[in-house]
Amino acid sequence: MRFTELIDQERVSKQLTGMVRQGRLSHALLFLGPEGSGALPLAIAFAQYIVCANKTPEDSCGTCDQCRKAAALVHPDIHFCYPSVKNREKGREEGISSEYIREWRRFIRENPYGRVTDWVRSISSENRQGNINARECHEIIHKLSYKSFESEYKILLMWMPEYLEKEGNRLLKLVEEPPPKTIFLFVGQRQEQILGTIVSRTQLVKVPPFSVARVRQALMENEGVVESIAGQIARISEGNYAEALELVREGQEDLLELLRAWLNGILRHQAIQVSSWVEQMSAARSGKETQKNFLRYFITLLEHALRLKYLEPGQISLLDQEAEFSTRLMDRIDWIQTREIIRLLDEACYHLERNANSKMLFQALSIRLGYIFTRKPVPL
C-alpha cells in the first residue's frame, strides 16, 4: 500500500517521509486517529515506505520486491499484531495474531478502513471479545529477537493497543530498549484507553478525521455513489469513512426526499399522508439503523441550516438541493423552534436505540413537530 492510494493523507504522509529522509525516525510511533480516519492504512503504507528499496522523497516505489511483499502483507520483516479471539482448534489456549494471518490479509485487502468490531466479527461468529493477551506479548518478544531477513529494519505494527490492558507491561522494556533497527508502529483510537507507559515511550502522530466533503468525494470516486446520496451519507458519518462504507452496503435511501415528504405532510396537516409515511418508515424493511440514520441526517441538516442562516454561506458544505431546502425550512422556524426540534430528534434516537416501537415513535414525533411548527405548546 502506497501513500498515493490513501484518502486525503498528504499532510501526515509528508511528515512521515520527512522523518525518514532527515534521519529522525523514532523507534516507536503511535498513530492516533478516530474510527474511520484511515490511521491503519496510513501505518501500513509507512511500513512499506520504510522497507522500500527504491523509495522517493514522497512515496515508496510500489514495484520493488520489498514493496510487493509489503503490499501483500507477507514481508518477513513486517509483523502484525491485532486483537484476536480464542482459537477453538487450540482448545482452551488463547488465540494470537499469527493464527489469523490469512483472515487479516483478506480483511485489509477488502476493508482497510474497517472497524475493530468488523474485524472481530470476521474471525468469530460467537460475539467473542477480542484482546491482545499475554501469549501474544511473548510471541512479539520472540519474533523481534531475530535479525531482520531482507530489509534494514524489523517492524511491528500493532493495531488497537487499547486491547493490551495490563498485558502491555510485558512489552515495556522491549519498547523502551528495542533491539537495533527495530521499529514499533502502534495504531490506536483513544489515547486515554492505552497504557500510559506505552504512550510515554512513543512519538505521537495525530491522524485527523476526514472532512465531510472528502468522504463524499471518496464515496463517489471509489464506490460509485451518486452525489446526492454520497453527501447525505458523508454528513451522517461525520468523517468516519468506515461508517460511511457501512451505510453504502446497507443500501441508503434518498433521505432528503423522505424528509421532504414527511415535513410537507406535517406542515399541510395531511394526516393520511403522514400516517402513510409513518407506515413506510416503520416497515420491517427500513430497520432501526435506517431510522436512526434518518433522524441523524435531519439533525445535521438543521445544524447546517442554522449556520447557513447566521454564518457566511461559503462556510457550509451543502448540496444545492439541501441548501435550498434548508433555507425554506428556516424561513418557517426560528432558532428556538430549531433547538426544540433537535432535542426531540435526539430523544427519538435514544429511544430507538433501546428498541422503542418505531411506528408509535414516529407517529408521536409527527404530532409534536406539528405543534412546534404552529408555535403551540408541545403536549407531554
What are 73-114's pLDDT values in tens digits?
999 999 999 999 876 555 556 788 999 999 999 999 998 999
- Give the alpha-carbon dihedral of 185, 191, 193, 195, to 10 degrees: 60
At 380 the pLDDT is 43
Q: Is the pLDDT of residue 280 over 50?
A: yes
Per residue in 132-167, pLDDT (tens digit) is 988 899 999 999 988 888 899 999 999 999 998 777
Q: Is the pLDDT of residue 307 over 70?
A: yes
| Secondary structure class of 28 (helix, strand, coil) | strand
Nearest to 343 by CA among 373, 365, 328, 318: 365
Regarding pTM above 0.85, the answer is: no
Q: At a CB cut-off of 8 Å and minimum separation 6, what does 183 contact?
A: 25, 27, 28, 29, 50, 153, 154, 155, 156
Q: For residues 15 and 3, give the distance between their C-alpha atoms in angstroms, rounded to a whole number.
A: 12
Per residue in 169-215, pLDDT (tens digit) is 888 889 988 889 999 999 999 999 998 888 999 999 999 989 888 89
Tell me the residue ranges of DSSP E strands in 151-224: 154-159, 182-188, 203-206
Return the H-helix or E-strand segment holding 29: strand 28-32
